[in-house]
Amino acid sequence: MSLNSIMRIGLSGMFSAGTSLQTTGHNIANANTVGYSRQRTLTSAQRGLSLSYGVLGTGTMVLDVRRMTDEFLAGRLRAQDARLSQFDTVDMALGDVESIFGSVDNNHLGTAMSDFFNSWSALATPPVTMTLQQNVADTADRLAADFRAMSSALDELSGDLDARLESGVGRLNALLSNVAELNRLIIMSESSATTANDLRDQRGQVLDEIAQLTRAEAIERDDGTVDVLIGGRTVVTREHVQALTVTRGDGNGSGAGAARVTTVAGGYAVELGEGALRGLVEARDEQVLHARARLDAVAAALIDKVNALHAQGRTAGGGSGILFFTGDSAANIALNPALLADPTLVAASRSGLEGDTDIALEIAALGQSGTAVVDGQSLPEMFNSLIMDLASRSSASTDRVFAQAQIVDSLGTRLDSVRGVSLDEEAANLALFQNAYEANARVISMVQDMFDTILTMV
């Protein structure tokens, strides 16, 4: 064994320890970097030198700087995070719907409905006066305005959900482009048989963001790139992206102006996976649509029942009863303009005789518990049932979000235990590799001393 061989062994040890020190420092520097996977330097003994009396070691070598992660666990976390994003988006939309309707004890429309039926109760107490008729017309006008305002608020919420869907698709396209660009950089970086750890971490972080918008499947190729599939459709292939767009009027029952997501190329529809985008569509087409249908049912029942009774009545002047409300839903309900212009046209009885208020009594009864209008419920009970249904849906949604968040937190903790940086562990590694570096430097120093000794002997 020559002194040069011993020198090379020391140099290989210094290089290995130095590489480990640099990797450890890199870990410490990125301890708080979101999506970063800690790295480890893998070393191995170099091939020994076979001699007649045995095999002598020739030092160490660095095999790889490995990224410590669990891709299977990361994929599971993305899938569960996509579901959480969907649940959370629906939950927030339900909160918005609840704020529009209020609660059983505090809702503007319920109060307006009570005022309306109370005004008929007052009119049912003889004598019928123009002041009482004016009060009926005023409360009816306010009630109709509340219905329209609530319907308009639901329209605005649907429009907001559509706008957020379009914005989310734009963000998704940008992220897909980021994946394609990182694919290109990874191919270039790994062309020399090295692993682009930091670039792979960046791509993983982008895939995590994509998962929050929609569940996507990432399939890694042998060249290190990933193909991204959404709803079974490939939207990223190496460096190529198929962008998504939002179109209107899909004829699926969600309305002529409803938004859906398709790809530009080929024009085929993409089934959104679980995620915030799917949550936006679900909130609009299921939760908001359900609330609107229930509200329209209350408005339609009010219009039909009140109109049917009022048309049977006669005014004090002998005139026939006219339709009380116009329209057929919460969006267009309104008091008959003729009644606004002349409140004396409000009919209180069928006979028109003084002291007869049977029509007023029957209309007032529509607002009383026990008066079945639709499915055994009075009109106020129909509306209260709607509010309680919303409260039940919201409560169930909140519980669903909480349970899903626990699943995500559990998976996140498990993944962090694999790829997360422990500063205590890295500090211990610093001391270990520093000692190794200094020990190998001592070997080199010793060889230099031996060289000097030989030179002085010559």
Task: Report pTM.
Answer: 0.84
* Tokens 């008929």 -> residue: 120
Q: Find which of 48-52, 250-254, 357-361, 379-383 is predicted with most confidence, using mean pLDDT.
A: 357-361
Contact 349, 316 (CB under 8 A): no
pLDDT at 174: 95
Which is nearest to 319 in space by CA: 363, 350, 281, 356? 350
Count CA within 13 A, CB hemisphere, residue 262: 12
For 1-35, what is each residue's pLDDT tens digit? Answer: 578 888 888 899 999 999 999 999 999 999 998 88
Which is nearest to 143 in space by CA: 173, 119, 167, 160? 119
Read off φ and ψ for residue 64, nearest 5 degrees.
-170, 155
Terminal alpha carbon distance of the chain: 20
- The amino acid present at 263, given as its one-letter code, is T
pLDDT at 263: 62
The strand order across the sheet containing 240-241 reads 217-220, 226-230, 233-237, 240-241
**With 60 as the cut, is the pLDDT of residue 309 above it?**
yes
Cα separation of 150 and 96, whole Å? 12
SS3 assignment, position 272: coil
- The amino acid present at 422, given as its one-letter code, is S
- Torsion angle of C-alpha atoms 9, 10, 12, 17, degrees rounded to 10: 140
Which of 13-17, 188-192, 419-423 bottoms out in mean pLDDT, i.e. has the lowest?
A: 188-192
Cα separation of 391 and 378, whole Å? 20
Contact 311, 322 (CB under 8 A): yes
Measured CA to CA in angstroms, residue 99 lies from 89, 146, 254, 288 at distances of: 16, 14, 23, 12
- The arithmetic mean of pLDDT across residues 365-382, rounded, is 77
Cα separation of 116 and 119, whole Å? 5
Angle among Cα 414, 420, 423 to the nearest 5 degrees reads 130
Read off φ and ψ for residue 220, nearest 5 degrees.
-85, 135
Cα separation of 49 and 56, whole Å? 5
Cα separation of 431 and 260, whole Å? 58
For 374-398, what is each residue's pLDDT tens digit? Answer: 777 878 888 888 999 999 999 999 9
**With 60 as the cut, is the pLDDT of residue 292 above it?**
yes
For 438-449, what is each residue's pLDDT tens digit? Answer: 999 998 888 888
pLDDT at 315: 75
SS3 assignment, position 41: strand
For 71-95, what is each residue's pLDDT tens digit? Answer: 899 999 999 999 999 999 999 999 9
Calculate what percentage of the chain has a pLDDT beyond 90.
Answer: 60
pLDDT at 256: 46
Domain residue ranges in the chain: 3-68+420-457, 75-408
Where residue 251 falls among pLDDT bands split at 50, 70, 90?
very low
